Structure 1
Amino acid sequence: MLYPELFKQLESVRWDMDKDIPWDRFDASMLSDEQAQTIKMNAITEWAALPATEMFLRDNRDDSDFSAFMSIWFFEEQKHSLVLMEYLRRFRPDLVPTEQELHEIRFEFEPAPALETLMLHFCGEIRLNHWYRRASEWHTEPVIKHIYQTLSQDEARHGGAYLRYMKRAIGKFGVEAKAAFAKVGVLMASARRTAQALHPTNLHVNKTLFPRDTIQSRLPNPEWLEHWLDKQINFDAVWETKVVERILHNMSLLMDRSFKSVQELNRFRKELGASLTGAAPASSAA
């Protein structure tokens, strides 16, 4: 089992909200209303760990090891929401999310293949790590800069834990797992070809609720994410390239094969698909 080891590892670096956040360094002159509004949106988005955990537990009933790890992931992700709300409670109480605003994003996700969902969230952790690093740079107020840096480090550790479970899955399921991971990897590393930000909170997950079946669509301001990325933290092509390179690097480690581009990963995906169906490999064109 991976859970006992991951518990020890993550427990050893867990931060304390009272002791490790420098609340006394707050500088009101360095926090704009625009910045404070984005903190509220991020606090609500982080609350989405609740429905995501319900999804993971439902779709991994046959995997007690991974389900146990969810106790760590859920706790730490909910603490992200909590520390952002605590910041607002202390310094901008008018913007603290209401219980109804938080509850609005708790809805059922449709069942999905467990392996693909695992890869999706692995990529999501990589992306969020980079988003929060950029957010820390954009903010000017010292306490919230420190908070976003702290959260970004958590997301990186979570990505590492997911990677451990992905390696285990390849050992169990072989080509099937590799094909699932490659399929989602191509999707999540292709953000420059899409009009929307590729993160689990921005994907449709319940067709009966469409179009309000993404986390972002159920926020008080459904358009905030694109504005935050494009106009505020300026998550530009340079930063998007960092995300893609990180996904490709980890896929290279996972598959024991070097991927320098999304096109190379896509060709590998097609090879795996052909081996699963017994057909000849498709054209190498991406």
Structure 2
Amino acid sequence: MLYPELFKQLESVRWDMDKDIPWNEFDASRLSDEQAYTIKMNAITEWAALPATEMFLRDNRDDSDFSAFMSIWFFEEQKHSLVLMEYLRRFRPDLVPTEEELHAVRFEFEPAPALETLMLHFCGEVRLNHWYRRAAEWHTEPVIRKIYTTLSQDEARHGGAYLRYMKRAISRFGNEAKAAFSKVGVLMASARRTAQALHPTNLHVNKSLFPRDTIQSRLPNPEWLEHWLDKQINFDAAWESKVVERILHNMSLLMDRSFKSVQELNRYRKEITASLAPAGAPLPSAA
């Protein structure tokens, strides 16, 4: 089991909201209304760990090890929402999310293949680590800068934990796991080709609720994420390249094969998928 070791590792570096956040360094002159509003949107987005955990537990009923790890992930992700709300409670109480605004992002996700979902959330952690690093640079108020840096480090550790479960999946399921991981890896490393940000909170997850079946679509301002990325923290091509590089690097480690580009990973995906196809079955598309 991975859970006992991961619990010990993550417990040893867990931060304390009272002791490790320098609340007394707050400088009101360095927090704009624009910046404060983005903190509210992030707080609501982080609350979406609740429906995500419900999805993980439902779709991994046969995996008690991973389900136990969800107790760590869920606690730390909800803590992210909590610390952002605490910041607002202390310094901009007019912007604290209401319970109704938080509850709006709790809805049922349709069942999905567990391996693909695991890879999707691994990539999401990589991306969020970079988004929060950039947010820490964009903000000018010292306390929220510290908070975003702290959150970014948590997201990196979560990505590392997911990677451990991905390695375990390959040892158990072989090419089936490799095919699932490479498929999602190609998608999530191709964000520059899409109009919207590729992150679990911005993907459609319930056809019956379309178009309000993404986390972002249920925010008070559904257009917030793209504006935050493009106009505020300026998550540009250079930063996006850092995300792609991390995904490709970790795919290379997982598959024991070097991937220098998304195109190389896609060729590998086709190769692995073809190896799983029964004799006479059509080859995967060239997409």
TM value normalised by structure 1: 0.98
Q: Percent identity?
A: 91
- Structure 2 equivalent of residue 217 of structure 1: 217
- Determine the C-alpha separation between the residues in 2 that align with 1:107 and 1:61: 19
TM value normalised by structure 2: 0.98
Q: Tell me by how many angstroms 1:281 deviates.
A: 9.7
Contact 2:274/2:284, CA 8 A, preserved across alignment: no
Unaligned runs of 5+ in 2: none
Let me know the Cα RMSD of the aligned residues.
1.4
Q: 1:281 to 1:129 in 2, by over 3 A?
A: farther
Contact 1:267/1:284, CA 8 A, preserved across alignment: no
Unaligned runs of 5+ in 1: none
> In the TM superposition, what whole-angstrom CA distance separates every residue of 1:53-72 from its partner, at most 9, and x where no partner exists?
00000000000000000000
> In the TM superposition, what whole-angstrom CA distance separates every residue of 1:215-261 from its partner, at most 9, and x where no partner exists?
00000000000000000000000000000000000000000000000
Contact 1:30/1:141, CA 8 A, preserved across alignment: yes
Q: 1:180 to 1:284 in 2, by over 3 A?
A: closer
- Determine the C-alpha separation between the residues in 2 that align with 1:66 and 1:249: 24
> In the TM superposition, what whole-angstrom CA distance separates every residue of 1:83-114 from its partner, at most 9, and x where no partner exists?
00000000000000000000000000000000
Count of residues in correspondence between the two structures: 286
- Determine the C-alpha separation between the residues in 1 that align with 2:118 and 2:285: 27
Contact 2:132/2:152, CA 8 A, preserved across alignment: yes
> In the TM superposition, what whole-angstrom CA distance separates every residue of 1:178-233 from its partner, at most 9, and x where no partner exists?
00000000000000011010000000000000000000000000000000000000
* SS, match of residue 15 in structure 2: coil
- Determine the C-alpha separation between the residues in 1 that align with 2:284 and 2:77: 42
Q: Tell me by how many angstroms 1:278 deviates.
A: 4.2
Q: Tell me by how many angstroms 1:78 deviates.
A: 0.1
- Structure 2 equivalent of residue 226 of structure 1: 226
Contact 1:270/1:281, CA 8 A, preserved across alignment: no
- Determine the C-alpha separation between the residues in 2 that align with 1:166 and 1:154: 18
Q: Tell me by how many angstroms 1:285 deviates.
A: 6.9
> In the TM superposition, what whole-angstrom CA distance separates every residue of 1:157-197 from its partner, at most 9, and x where no partner exists?
00000000000000110000000000000000000011010
- Determine the C-alpha separation between the residues in 1 that align with 2:188 and 2:255: 17
